[in-house]
Structure 1
Amino acid sequence: MKGKNKKDAILYAAQEIFGRYGYAGTTVKMISERAGVAFGLVSHYFGSKEELFITAGVAIVEDLTEYLSTETRKAESGLEGIQTFMRSYLSYTLQHRNTFPVLLRCSPFSDVQIELDRTRIAVKFQQLLNVIRESVERGIEDGSIRGLSVDDTTTIVYSNIVGTVRTRFLSPYDLPNLYEETTDFVVRSIRARD
């Protein structure tokens, strides 16, 4: 493994390990062993454990935001944009099930019990929320979404996603249709009434 490949391996290992064990339960040694690199190389590329934790989360949310922006642009209405956003987001979590849980650990919505500067990740999450906001605004304008508060609706849509993903990844409940049912529920809730 050379240069960038080692750095990528460390980042991927960090996403997996932080996602599985959380910040406090993860050691740099665990990450270096999982990545198959020397312990010191982790510090060389990422500095501190905190920096690696935040970088691991930022990398996932940047990839997710780019993917969701591309997918929602294909929608023919704002309501379809919300539906596409939710389906694509929830599908992404399953496609990246080994690494996605790091976002559950470092997001502004997580319950991390330690002091971390999560400003960078909060900025990235705001970009994610902006994708939802654009679809809500578009839907109200095109008549597919009823006249609701844009801020409240954006937050409620994302809160439903967060709750659903946390239930899927962090709880013992086996609800095979949870993602589809949540998406349908949200779409029914905001759809313009005849």
Structure 2
Amino acid sequence: MPKKQRILLAAQEQFGKHGFTGTTLKMVADHAGVASGLVSHYFGNKDNLFLEAGMALIDQMLSIFTQKADKAENGLDALRIFVESYFDFTSAHKTTFPTLLRCSPFSDENPQLDRHAIAAKFQTLIDQIETYLRKGMEDGSIKEVPLPQTSFLIYGHIVGAVRTVFLAPYQIPELFEEACTFIVRSVAKS
């Protein structure tokens, strides 16, 4: 793995574990097995590294989700695959995914960060949901729903389930599965 990628992965793991404030560039460098100066060379400062780490995760997620959902028979199936893939990704990336909980337009943990840039990146996920909703309304698998409101409501439901699993003291069996079923059932044409 190239050094820049090792640094991003180390940053995702360190920010996910220690949060923005608790993570230093030295911690990231040590975890990546590189000199501290190299982290600064590639990313400048901690704010930029944090943003890049979060945005790289979103790019990775979107690539995986859309690749899987492109095989769907209709819009509803594509939406289901997208939601399932989102939950599967969070479960498979427990050490890095919490970075997105901290680097999110729904987080007020780091008010000094460029919230417009963060929101624009997260918007790509919401736009993909809207694409599947439109496709489903066109092919008849999804009932007529208001856009973009429904896209945001679905994404809010996904975020709520993820935050419950990662941050809350609750142990709710099969929450992700039920959240996906709930989302699909709420928009499916009967």
TM-score range, shorter chain: over 0.9
Q: What does residue 85 of structure 2 align with?
A: 88
SS at match of 1:148: coil
Is the 8 Å Cα contact of residues 142 and 188 (structure 2) preserved in structure 1? yes
Matches of 1:56 and 1:190, distance apart in 2 = 33
List alignment gaps of at least 5 residues for structure 1.
Answer: none
* Count of residues in Structure 1 that have an aligned counterpart in Structure 2: 190
Q: Deviations over 1:81-129 (max 9, x none)?
A: 1111100110011121111111111111222243111333322211111
SS at match of 2:48: helix
Is the 8 Å Cα contact of residues 6 and 37 (structure 1) preserved in structure 2? yes
Q: What does residue 27 of structure 1 align with?
A: 24
Q: What does residue 39 of structure 2 align with?
A: 42
Matches of 1:28 and 1:64, distance apart in 2 = 25
Q: CA deviation at 1:191?
A: 1.1
Matched, 1:138 2:122: no
Q: Tell me the TM-score normalized by structure 2.
A: 0.94
SS at match of 1:24: helix
Q: Which amino acid aligns with 2:81?
A: T
Matched, 1:51 2:33: no
List alignment gaps of at least 5 residues for structure 2.
Answer: none
Is the 8 Å Cα contact of residues 13 and 31 (structure 1) preserved in structure 2? yes
Identity %: 48
Match of 2:69 among 49, 67, 72: 72
Matches of 1:152 and 1:90, distance apart in 2 = 21
Q: CA deviation at 1:164?
A: 0.7
Q: CA deviation at 1:13?
A: 0.8
Matches of 1:143 and 1:187, distance apart in 2 = 14
Q: After the TM superposition, which parts of structure 1 deviate over 4 Å for at least 4 consecutive aligned residues?
A: none
